[in-house]
Amino acid sequence: MKFDLSGKVAVITGAARGIGKAIALSMAKCGADLAILDMNVEGAGQTAEEAGKMGVKAQVYKADVSDLKQIQEIFREIRNTFGKIDILVNNAGIVSPKPFLETNEKEWDMIMGVNLKGVYNTCFSVLPFMIEQKYGKIVNIASIAGKTGGGFFGNTIYGTSKAGVIGLTKGIAREAGPFGINVNAICPGPIETQMLADCPEETRQRILSGVPLRKFGHPQDIANVAVFLSSDLASHMTGEITDVDGGIMRDN
């Protein structure tokens, strides 16, 4: 079964590398035009260039997702440029491995600003357009840390921010549902990104021992689910929090 996103316009945050890049290129492969939001303009440009080779339109916007005014302006520009916004994927995020008592207010504000307020800002900016067209797909990248209170890489503050994303997803799904808008979230487990690659082998093996499938996920594993949730094959799913974690959360 082929996922067809031809004619759709997808906004993806944090798509310069890793999971976000995999999502962007997977959507481009399925025919979606892309608006890529990232502070890393060079990396985002590379993603856009690869997407363009697939025959779709891809535009890069330098964006700080924690800045509501900036995000609202960018979304209006995207709407004017592309004519509509069908899909929003909130992938931008930051993490800190510090124990709770070693963190400070500045780190709290920074992590919450990107991971939670950033999702609020983009959803708040895009929903009026989606309500107007009575159609939209929002996919928020949360984390199993939002269910466990952190662990693996993310600390307590990171887990709290992702728990907020889960709650925000469920609430917006309830309010946006009557307008034909689907809002879901994905909770990745340990994924083979640069962060995991930089871990000592002992740490990698410790993490791996807690994964029933005994393997780490790859960005494409998350991208596959994001594409499905953004497609009309998932038209009767909303408010769903999907774990893609190799079985870590099987009993929860």
Indicate which residue of 61, 120, 135, 158 is catalytic: 158
Dist. CA 100–CA 108, nearest whole Å:
10
DSSP-based three-state secondary structure for 232? helix
Q: Within 13 Å of residue 180, how many CA atoms lie on the same side as its CB?
A: 11
Altogether, the residues listed in the chain come to a count of 252
The answer to whether 155 touches 99, Cβ cutoff 8 Å, is yes
Residue position matching structure tokens 């004619």: 7
DSSP-based three-state secondary structure for 251? coil
158 is catalytic: yes
Q: Within 13 Å of residue 132, how many CA atoms lie on the same side as its CB?
A: 10
Longest dimension (CA), the chain: 52
Sign of the CA dihedral 146, 150, 153, 157?
A: positive
Q: At what angle do helices 117-133 and 105-115 cross, to 10 degrees?
A: 20
List active site positions: 158
